Amino acid sequence: MKYIIIFCFAIVSLTSWAQSSNAIEYSPAGPFNWSMFKGKVNTTHLDQWGNHTGAVTVSSLSYTTEVRNHQAKIRIVALFNPNESWTKYPHLDHPDEALNHEKRHFDICEIYARKFRQVVSQTQFHQRTFNTQIENIFKKLTADYRAEQNRYDQETEHSINKQEQTVWNSLIDNKLKALKDFEEKSLSINLN
């Protein structure tokens, strides 16, 4: 049986990427379909992961800050980059399963955006060290995020292992629900 492996490539970047692209912010009820994948098949990805790669999702965590009078406004978002994300659809063996797998990569990105918001809301920030503190939190969470994306692909075998994909679907749904209190993209914090 021929399989097409679906692979997600998660890019972590700062705001410049988000502002200079047509990035799509995560929305729980937002659409996610193959028409969102506007990039051309990337031969570098094929060289790295093999010609059997059927799609690549490029997503990232991004944040912006505005500091005034001992208060910081922070906006944290999970972004999908349609211009870098690509697919061989409709030439996939199981397009619905593949699309679900790719959507779950974007869901994982949102999980880490919510974790980032959670940590920020629970951290005591200081005016003089605010930028360093938030950047350190960002670096830690993005490292965890990349590891989680890799683990997801390894355990699901890029959607081929249907049993593991079902386990991950449930795990992802449960994590999103558990972090529902941190769904709001913007927050304000006081600085000491």
Q: What residue type is assigned to position 53 of the chain?
A: T
Residue 18's pLDDT is what? 44
Using CA atoms, how far residue 121 sits from 46, 57, 82, in Å, is 40, 29, 30
**Cβ atoms 146, 12 nearer than 8 A:** yes
DSSP string, 50-102: -TTEEEEEEEEEEEEEEEETTEEEEEEEEEE-TTT-EE-TTS-SSHHHHHHHH
One pLDDT digit (tens) per residue for the chain, 192 residues: 333 334 444 433 333 344 446 999 999 888 999 999 999 998 888 888 778 889 999 999 999 999 998 999 999 999 999 999 999 999 998 999 999 999 999 999 999 999 999 999 999 999 999 999 999 999 999 999 999 999 999 999 888 899 999 999 999 999 999 999 999 999 999 999
Q: Quick one: the chain helix, strand, coil %, rounded to 5?
A: 50, 20, 30
Distance CA 95, CA 66 (A): 42
N-terminal to C-terminal alpha carbon distance within the chain: 61
Which residues, 6+ apart, have CB-to-CB distance to 24 below 8 Å?
Answer: 30, 36, 79, 80, 81, 82
Cβ–Cβ < 8 Å for 23, 71: no
* Whole-angstrom distance, CA of residue 143 vs CA of residue 128: 25
What pLDDT shows up at residue 119?
98
Give the model's pLDDT for residue 21: 62
Give the predicted TM-score (pTM) of the model.
0.89
What integer pLDDT is reported at residue 2 of this predicted model?
33
* Structure tokens, 91: 């030439």
Exposed/middle/buried for 168, CB within 10 Å: 0-12, 13-18, 19+?
Answer: buried
